Amino acid sequence: MHRLALLACLLAPLTTAAQEPFYLPVGDLLPASGDGLADEMVYVPGMRYPIEVGPSYPNSQVYMNGGSMGPGGSQCDAVNYSYPWRDNYCETRSWDMPMCPAGVGHQGQDIRPSTCEKDVHWVVAGQAGQVTNIGSYSVYVTSPNGQRLDYLHGAVNTLAVANGDQVEREQHIVKVSNNMGDTPTSIHLHFNVKQDVGGVGYVYVSPYMSLVGAYEELMGLGNKPPDGVFDTAGCATLTGWAQDPDAPDDAIPVDLYFGGEKGDPMATPVQVIADLPRDDLCQAIGSCDHGFELEAPLGLRDGQVHPVHAYALDDKMGAPVELQLSPGQMQCDPPPLPAGVRRWVINPESLAAWKFSPFWQLIHAPDDALLALPQDRDLVPAPLLVASDAEPGKVWLVDETFRRHVPDPAAAAAWGFDLGAVIVWPAADVQALTEGTPLRPAPILAQGTGPEVWLIDDHQCDPDAPDPLCGLPGESTGPSSGSGLSAGESASDSGEPEPTSDGGSGSSSEGPDSALPPGFGEDDGGCGCRSQQSGGLVFGLLGLGLRRRRNRKG
């Protein structure tokens, strides 16, 4: 049935409106015409379709009717002027084409206008740029980002631009013709997109999906690309908005890439959901709840310049669409360190066991500010969560001889705790531990110019043990909310770690590595995304309430 329907479509008379589907998949070339490239990337998002009015019919000029390798007939046969479209990027040619499976092929897409008439149909600029070359039958327009759109086979006597001109999107360039120098070709526009591709060079890329999106906009068909603006890349938050015009009331995801664009292996991606209410959007786009906001990662507040790219996602599009005003740039000074004591995270394995994220949680502090915080006990190698069998809904962190209350689901999520892994202890065993201060709402790490990573925390006082920082036994009035230490003092029995022969610090635990590898934490995966599981005990009932927060924080 599928083949019969396709045959009926190919034999249909000239039509003025696209039928569904109006195009065959990208890379699906005519049989025996070469190996296509199934590249769904929209290389020119928001492009204007390059022929002024529709309908229009991209297909092969060589292998269709009237072509030198076609089945016969005339170039004006109705089959050439009917849907569905057919890709012919990478069609058999002798031109060097690194992106094509064969390494050689056709550089772009052949496009027939609505009728088989030459010097009638205007070619228009797909995007703004400068005319950088006019040949005997070609016009090149290069955009400010270096991407070049080529328009070939127009009639010279209809040229509406000159070399060096600045052209706007949709401006007339030339009329479709059959000009190819001394040897005429069929009546069509040959359209190329040429740009820099990482690891390959300045090459021709597939224009097919860009043409599909532009034609849908021109003819009011199918899926429209998402729209939006990346407003700010601030030192407190990153903000913007995004909307899918095909589902204007639905929230869509936005991918933020820190340190590079999408596809850069050194960039860190974080996904947020554009679902926040913004009054300024209600009239402008007809719907209000499309804003997004993300806390600026502490790890990037280091005084350096960090580019941030923002892409809106539409599950019906072949590729994400970069938002307007993207990329932004972050350049932020480190925030001041919070009060407390510093506890050494003894090695990278411990950092991973705690699921700490230097990307999100680490302050790059001046050495003098870091050393002004008293050094306390080393952080235990890994977290242990327990609950009493007499009070199973109350979760405690075992911190050496202390039990520290995990105050709420938000704190558990911020610390990356797996509440499904809580161990139930006999009540007597839990009570045998000295009650310390509750956990802070979220972990804050700090690092100076050295390799050591520290957790900023509260000093714990044991009322039954001598501790000059907490008073004599029996004098303590309860768990301490602060360290009670003066700047430069240490609560660690061993004092400051002594330098070792390898440049680290001596301790009863293994010293920190000389450099921290990227992507600490088994759930980070190098992407800056934190696993925040909810479940188990009483907190499991509140898990749904954390989803919105998780989505916005990656």
Rounded to whole angstroms, the Cα distance separating 539 from 534 reads: 7
Residue type, 28: D
pLDDT beyond 90 at 342: yes
Rounded average pLDDT over 52-67: 97
Q: Of 331, 351, 370, which one is at a domain's C-terminal end?
A: 331
**What pLDDT does 519 receive?**
32
User: Residue 551's pLDDT band (boundaries 50, 70, 90)?
Assistant: very low
pLDDT digits (tens, 9 = 90+) for 8-21: 333 333 333 444 57
In a domain? residue 180: no
Residues 238 and 355 in one domain: no
pLDDT for 21 equals: 78
Does residue 133 have a pLDDT over 90? yes
Residues 325 and 357 in one domain: no
pLDDT of residue 545: 33
Q: What is the structure's pLDDT at 296? A: 95
Residue 227 pLDDT > 70: yes
Is 348 found in the same domain as 256?
no
Whether residue 374 has pLDDT greater than 80: yes
Owning domain of residue 301? 227-331
88 vs 324: CA distance, rounded Å = 31
- Stretch among 249-253, 274-278, 411-415, 473-477 having the lowest mean pLDDT: 473-477
Q: What is the pLDDT of residue 246?
A: 83
Average pLDDT, the chain: 84
Residue 293 pLDDT:
97
Indicate if the pLDDT at residue 174 is higher than 90: yes
Contacts (Cβ under 8 Å, ≥6 apart) of 244: 224, 226, 250, 252, 312, 314
Q: What is the pLDDT of residue 360?
A: 96
**Same domain for 458 and 395?**
yes
In whole angstroms, what is the distance from residue 391 CA to residue 407 CA? 14
The first and second tokens of residue 281, run together, are 């959007």
pLDDT at 492: 40
What is the mean predicted confidence (pLDDT) over 423-439? 96
What pLDDT, in 10s, does the model give residues 75-102?
Answer: 999 999 999 999 999 999 999 999 999 9
- Residue 249 to residue 238: CA distance in whole angstroms: 22
Dihedral angle computed from the Cα positions of residues 337, 340, 342 and 343, in that order, rounded to the nearest 10 degrees: -130
Residues listed for the chain: 554
Select from 304, 331, 358 the last residue of a domain: 331
Task: Over range 130-135, report the average pLDDT.
Answer: 97
Are residues 510 and 361 located together in one domain of the fold?
yes
In a domain, 326, yes or no: yes
Confidence of residue 471 (pLDDT cuts 50, 70, 90): low
Q: What is the pLDDT of residue 317?
A: 57
The answer on 397 and 545 residing in a single domain is: yes
Read off the pLDDT band of 224 (50, 70, 90).
Answer: confident
**Is the CB of residue 529 less than 8 Å from the CB of residue 523?**
yes
Q: Is residue 432 situated within a structural domain? A: yes
Q: Tell me the percentage of the chain whose pLDDT exceeds 90.
A: 75
Assess whether 398 and 534 both reside in one domain: yes
| Same domain? 286 vs 435 | no
One domain, residues 459 and 406:
yes
Give the confidence band of 512 by pLDDT, cuts at 50, 70, 90.
very low
